[in-house]
Amino acid sequence: MNIPEDRRYTDQHEWAVLADDVVRVGITDYAQDALGDVVFVDLPEVGREVAADEMIAEVESTKSVADVYAPIAGVVAAVNDALIDTPELVNDYPYGDGWFFAITPADPHALEALLDAAGYAALIE
């Protein structure tokens, strides 16, 4: 299972990475593998204010539907519109082109409270 060291993780299987003052968020390789083939992604609206652990998006696969949660509080700064037409990017590139949304963090240090790669690896063992 691929777990990049450069990001933080939640126990709900989201990843988060700070880049250019926003936190980009997606689901982990473990989560996309458990879901199976992703066929639809419902993304939040840009400008939406979110609380940490708030359900913010939804991902539908051939097996099930799963909620995606905001790993930190802030404002949605961007969404990955490419997922509307090509939701399979979540399966193909969960840590790259398959990202879901970006949040301008209310607290830039909030990521420090999330799991590091080793902590997430222990969670999914």
Residue 117 within a domain: no
Residue 23 within a domain: yes
- Give Cα separations from 107 to 26, 45, 71, 88 (angstroms): 19, 20, 12, 32
Averaged over successive runs of 10 residues, the pLDDT of the chain (125 residues) comes to 95 95 96 96 97 97 95 98 97 97 94 96 95
**Which of 83, 78, 85 lies closest to 32 in space, CA to CA?**
83
pLDDT at 40: 97
**Which of 64, 15, 1 lies closest to 36 in space, CA to CA?**
64
Count of domains for the chain:
1
- Which range of residues forms the domain containing residue 53? 8-108
Cβ-based neighbour number of residue 118 at 10 Å: 11
Task: Specify the DSSP class assigned to residue 108.
Answer: T
pLDDT at 86: 97
CATH number of the domain within which 43 lies: 2.40.50.100
Spatial distance between the Cα atoms of 100 and 44, rounded to a whole number of angstroms: 9
Residue 87 within a domain: yes
Residue 92 within a domain: yes
Residue 74 within a domain: yes
Cβ-based neighbour number of residue 55 at 10 Å: 12
Residue 2 within a domain: no
pLDDT at 79: 98
pLDDT at 74: 98
Q: How far is CA 122 from the centre of its chain?
A: 19
